[in-house]
Chain A
């Protein structure tokens, strides 16, 4: 009882009691964790990092650190150097109905604090993905969320239909925001009605947990997020890459074969934080944050802005062990703060009054 009181005095817990509109963060139970008789190892094991990011349909992750689509292939590529089973979930490479060869090289380049990529959704098509990786994923403990993309609503629906019921597929992440393909992709993410239509159509086609990934390349993301929620998405992922450009060394052309690329890495973290912060105030479904996560502070920042889970992307290239390590570090952070779960860390930085969405920050929007 004494330790419970002690925990309740910690500032993090105090902040966490403010309602933020997300159903799952009602779980604010704080338990005794620092009994002297318990070894630190046991205490760490008792901390609950599990999270259901699709509460209506059930997509239970062992921890809230996912790997972002496009940075981790199909989960097998990093297998020799990373214990993939300890990751919260794997979002696999964007998958389309038919095979795609992707864009002309070069496809990646480093930029200050980030990188540009223009892969162009190279993938063998949904059937090949199911045949080749389905049996592997089925044997895994780590949930695999298949990222899907298409040129038309019919494409998205067909891909989702084929994934429905495939053993080893835990959920779908709807990529309506790929900036690197000519047709499809982005157009669904920049228009509220198109976003609503594609989400609703996929929702009707599958009972799999459905996550929808937002694009930052819009003037106001909030109506789009709201439309996606209304159309039946289980969770919102934010954000995809920002459209960018690099110039060739001789300055005679754009560097990337596709001219434009998507910017990712630490450079985009403030943008991602802003969007998560805004979306968290208008939707009540879980938010999975993506954008420049490289350390525990970044994870805590996104949680504070209302994210229920976090995806690690670009940072994996430099530090393949980071996703697993972040899970461990989050656990240790909970222990240090006397929390039985990381959930009290969610939403602590959001405006204290709920209801009307904040207009703060709008004046800085380009």
Chain B
């Protein structure tokens, strides 16, 4: 974690109201892992007193470039679209804990809803580089909100669902998951809380449906503590959670979600959680 002056290199609107911006920030590009985020300071402090958290969309250590993918939803993101190439903006990062991929996992199922693509996009690159099979299930309102396939590596399978059926499967992206649950060794998701909650319910019943025997240590033996990297690595589903955020370093306790072990800070214990760490009943 450090404060970095990231220079805007390129800014483009990939979809109506959705932007991908590239920043030259070698410290962030080489020091971050998929699932982590940066806390961006927007201009005009007197009006906008909080930084904005963004998942690191992609990071390329070779060029020192990171990208952020966001939708203009308010004054902070609108300010970002007005930053000009060559200008530097203040980023704090990399922050939070990353996705943990089991080294034995061959096939990864990535589920993204809308802007949730930004939460798993870097994992796509990491998995492809490691030679794993990747299927992305992507859900959006309509065709005009669908993440362009041209921005994904050729190696991945990309399946789209839209609420209105204007592209791909008509309905929720979670309806596509059962088809892939046998193929996938692990699943990683980012998107609306209702989507994550549905995925968690699906993941909880997966073993029984597939008749998978619980392998590994005998019952009663040592287990990895809930929330540890090792425990997350062994879980089938990991989710990247979102919450309004204050400091992003764990000091203010503003960004908590309710976990099975009590309040969890999205900025420190998260933003990635194993699905069984989250108290889903507390989420509407």
Contacts and interface: CB of A to CB of B under 8 A. Distances in A.
- Do these two chains interact? yes
Interface of A: 70-73, 77-78, 80-81, 93, 101-102, 104-110, 112-115, 117, 119, 122, 265-266, 294, 314-321
Contact of B250 (A70, A77, A119): A77
A101 B260 CA distance: 12
A107 B253 contact: yes
A102 B257 CA distance: 11
Given A110-B48, A318-B51, A102 B253 contact: yes
B49 A314 contact: yes
A77 B249 contact: yes
Given A81-B3, A105-B257, A320-B92, A110 B247 contact: no
* Interface residue SS majority, chain B: loop
Contacts of A314: 49
Given A108-B245, A109-B244, A321 B49 contact: no
Interface in B138-166: none
Given A319-B41, A320-B3, A70 B252 contact: yes
Instruction: Tell me which of B2, B92, B248, B254 has the highest count of chain A C-beta atoms within 10 A of its own C-beta.
Output: B254
B262 interface: yes
Given A81-B3, A108-B50, 6 more contacts: A77-B249, A102-B253, A102-B263, A114-B49, A117-B246, A294-B46
Contacts of A320: 3, 92, 249
Contact of B254 (A81, A108, A112, A315): A108
A77 B243 contact: no
Contacts of A71: 246-247, 251-252
Interface of B: 1-3, 41, 45-51, 92, 243-258, 262-263, 282
Contacts of A101: 262-263
Contacts of B50: 108, 110, 115, 317-318
B243 A321 contact: no
Contacts of B251: 71-73, 77-78, 93
B252 A321 contact: no
A319 B247 CA distance: 10
Closest 3 CB pairs of A and B: A73-B251, A108-B254, A77-B251
A21 B126 CA distance: 65
A285 B245 CA distance: 36
Contacts of B247: 71, 73, 77-78, 316-317
Nearest to B2: A81
B250 A73 contact: yes
Contacts of A122: 253, 256, 263
A317 B51 contact: yes
Contacts of B248: 317
5 contacts: A71-B247, A105-B258, A109-B244, A122-B253, A319-B45
A188 to B, nearest CB: 22
A3 B3 CA distance: 42
Given A80-B2, A109-B244, A117 B252 contact: yes
A294 B48 CA distance: 12
Nearest to B262: A101
Contacts of B51: 317-318
